[in-house]
């Protein structure tokens, strides 16, 4: 079964509000969590790398003050979209770092968060 849970699976919010997405590793500790987003008809693009106990690193073009990442424990990483706008509407997904996975290296869907579909009105 899945070893990564993500919550909520979908959320609709008003423009200007903040939304928190939680990603939990079940049965193993994830020192690293990768956050991706996917706009309609596009591929999954890496947004940021979350490291337990240290600051996240962001990809070029991703605003760190808008997408707050917290990785306070080895089983929980959160992504908060602050002051969300319609252009932030996207599908967000978390994937733990390869070195963290408890079983042979294989990025099958067990090791993916199921994703969060965010719609900002």
Partner 1 sequence: SQELEQSPQSLIVQEGKNLTINCTSSKTLYGLYWYKQKYGEGLIFLMMLQKGGEEKSHEKITAKLDEKKQQSSLHITASQPSHAGIYLCGADMRGNTPLVFGKGTRLSVIA
Question: Is position 7 an interface residue for partner 1 (rule: CB under 8 A)?
Answer: no
C-beta of 90: minimal distance to partner 1 in Å?
9
Q: Are 67 and 58 in contact (CB under 8 A)?
A: yes
Tokens of 110: 């067990």
Between residues 31 and 80, which has the closer beta carbon with respect to partner 1? 31
- Part of the chain binding partner 1 (CB under 8 A), chosen from 19-27, 63-71, 76-84, 102-110: 102-110
Question: Is position 28 an interface residue for partner 1 (rule: CB under 8 A)?
Answer: no
Distance CA 79, CA 17 (A): 14
DSSP secondary structure string for all residues of 36-73: EEE-TTS--EEEEEEETTS--EE-TT--TTTEEEEEEE
Site residues (vs partner 1, CB under 8 A): 31-32, 34, 36, 38, 40-46, 49, 91, 93, 95, 97-100, 105-109, 112-115, 117
């Amino acid at each position: 079964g899945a070893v990564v849970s993500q919550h909520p699976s979908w959320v609709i919010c008003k423009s200007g509000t903040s939304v928190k997405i939680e990603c939990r590793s079940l049965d193993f500790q994830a020192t690293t969590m990768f956050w991706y987003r996917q706009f309609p008809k596009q591929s999954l693009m890496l947004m940021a790398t979350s490291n337990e106990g240290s600051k996240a690193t962001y990809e070029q073009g991703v605003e760190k003050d808008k997408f707050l990442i917290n990785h306070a424990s080895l089983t929980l990483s959160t992504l908060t979209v602050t002051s969300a706008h319609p252009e932030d509407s996207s599908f967000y997904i978390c994937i733990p770092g390869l070195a963290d996975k408890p079983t042979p290296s294989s990025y099958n869907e067990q090791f993916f968060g199921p994703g969060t579909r965010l719609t900002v009105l």
